[in-house]
Amino acid sequence: MSAALILAMALDAVMGEPKALWDRVPHPAVLMGRTIDWADKRFNKGEDKRQKGVIALGLLILFWIVIAGILSSFGWIVQIVCAAILLAQKSLVEHVEAVAAGLRQTITRGRKSVAMIVGRDTAEMEEPAVARAAIESAAENFSDGVIAPAFWFLIGGLPGIVLYKLVNTADSMIGHRTPRHEEFGWAAARLDDWLNWVPARLSAVLILLSHGRPDLWRGLPTEARQHRSPNAGWPESAMARVLNVSLSGPRAYHGQMQDFPWVHPSGNRYPGPMQIDAACTVLWRAWAGMVLLATLIWLI
């Protein structure tokens, strides 16, 4: 499985997500989203919403694992291609690079580009806030979109990566603490936290080791645990320390300012396009670290 992962990661790094293809056929993540939306509309009503959410998620997992099992029966090439489609290294880097390119033109273009990858309010952001948002997204999505899918492909093959992507997509759609989804999406949010526990910490390790800075681990676990997410703080803290920038901090959601603690508060609080470019370099070096890890597993 490690050899297949190496090939899948290389294919994703070269091909990314061809727009010409996904303009014609729906991406697997889109199809997953449609089934999640169907389950939300079908089951998220009446009483016992948490129990219904558990059952709905279980049925979705069963359905998609059966699909993955059928695809796996067609051989290694199909598995490698499917895994590459469910990895997101190149597309992540491209989206983050677009923010730096936008900022180099106008603040408006920078805001527009970062709005495509973050959920916070962007209309009033100044350049440092735009840059911080892009760098945070780079770190968190490296864990969610690259390392976690790769990890679960190593563990469970195509069914493993499909399971992860389904749960991660469900968390993004119904895992929010809103009146509609706090109960129904409870199972998706909790399972996503569990599935990301190891990958988030592995992402932090890869970021530090790929830069020869294991010394930066000191204090990182304590800082990461202060993050509002049980997992996102790990890659964010590692990224902040490698770049020596401060991340997180106050930001607005739906017009309301929220005072989140700073990650690496002693770092530079006024990053710009140059630091975003550096974050993209971090992504590729840490990606190479994961390829090296998979290679070592294959050789052993």
Q: Report whether 127 contacts 276 (CB < 8 A).
A: no
Q: What is the pLDDT of residues 20-55, one digit of tens each?
A: 777 788 899 999 999 999 999 999 988 889 999 999
pLDDT range class, residue 248, cuts 50, 70, 90: confident
Q: What is the pLDDT of residues 249-274, one digit of tens each?
A: 877 677 677 778 888 989 999 999 99
Neighbouring residues of 174: CB distance < 8 A, sequence distance ≥ 6:
36, 40, 44, 53, 181, 184, 185, 188
Tokens of 161: 């990566």
pLDDT range class, residue 120, cuts 50, 70, 90: confident
Q: In this model, does residue 280 exceed pLDDT 80?
A: yes
Tokens of 205: 């390790």
Write down the pLDDT at residue 196: 97
